Amino acid sequence: MIKIICGPKGSGKTKQLIQAANVNAAAAKGLSVFITDTKRYMYDINREVRFIDVSDYAVAGEEAMCGFVAGVVSGNHDNEYIYIDGIARIAGKPVAELAKTFYMLEKLSNDSGLVITVTCSAAKEELPDFVAKYA
């Protein structure tokens, strides 16, 4: 399952994502992973959630981000939740150009039974169809 938290910049998407990660950490049977491109929220995340700053791994571009997320998932077969903050920022492309990424996330989610929650800086009406179906 893929979930989208959308809204304009500064609307509190990251806070919602952090809150969801922290709430689900208490009840999760598997691992939770929070992926972002800054250390700014490191101490806001429950310590049960694995926090990953992709800038530590030189992840740049859509291909690298897709490979990184797939690698994180393949590294532990008991992943349950994946949270990605600022997917367009990490991929270096606007959301409208991330069809391949969302296809990959959908495949990962379906194959592994993951719940993947992603933030997108755009109004719900501005989301392309391949993203809007998850909002």
One of 3.40.50.300, 3.90.550.60, 3.40.50.410, 3.40.190.10 is the CATH number of 2-119, namely 3.40.50.300
Q: Which residue from 102, 92, 106 is spatially nearest to 128, judged by alpha carbons?
A: 102
Query: Which residue type is seen at 124?
Result: K
DSSP strands (E only) in the chain:
2-7, 31-36, 49-53, 79-84, 115-121
For the chain, domain boundaries: 2-119
Q: Please tell me the pTM assigned to this model.
A: 0.92
pLDDT of residue 33: 94
Q: Are 70 and 41 in contact (CB under 8 A)?
A: no
Residue 75 has pLDDT above 90, yes or no: no
Band the pLDDT of 41: cuts 50, 70, 90.
very high
